[in-house]
Amino acid sequence: MSVNTSNVYGKISISDSAIAKVAKSATLECYGIVDTVSRNITDSISELLKRKTDGKGVKVVTNGDRIFIDVNVIIKYGVSINAVAESLKESIKYRVEHFTGMIVDTVNVNIIGVKL
């Protein structure tokens, strides 16, 4: 799937994988985040077969001009989970909206683990 829009110059289409790469970049730049990870073993296997892990741990679903993002992360031990999660949501929302010009409806942060 992709997000589509048009203007006076023509049609613009942005793929979900491009949005996932931007979201992952924003995630890794956020304080307290160690890495993004796959949610389950089937996701891990499919990523291994594709050999493209740019959007690993990030799932993007688009519906019309709305974007829904799920991100699975490992955080550093000792940081405030709530503060890191809120900061991460705001960072992803800002970066993706700035990149696409579309509305990010929801950003769900799933904390899969903690790294000492």
Number of domains forming the structure of the chain: 1
Cα-based distances in Å from 102 to 53, 95, 107? 24, 11, 14
Tell me the average pLDDT of the chain.
87
pLDDT band at 7 (very low <50, low <70, confident <90, very high): confident
Give pTM, 2 decimals.
Answer: 0.83
Q: Which residue has the higher pLDDT, 52 or 10?
A: 10
Domain containing 101 equals 2-115
What CATH number did the domain enclosing 14 receive?
3.30.70.1350
Q: Are 64 and 88 in contact, with CB atoms under 8 Å apart?
A: no
Strands (E) located in the chain? 2-7, 10-15, 33-36, 58-63, 66-76, 103-115
What's the average model confidence in pLDDT over 3-21? 87
pLDDT value at position 50?
62
Give 40's DSSP letter. S
Summarised one tens digit per residue, pLDDT across range 28-82 is: 999 999 999 987 655 555 555 665 556 688 999 988 778 999 999 999 999 999 9
Q: How far apart are CA 1 and CA 55, in angstroms?
A: 15
* Sequence-ordered list of residues with C-beta below 8 angstroms from that of 30, at least 6 positions apart, any chain: 84, 87, 88, 91
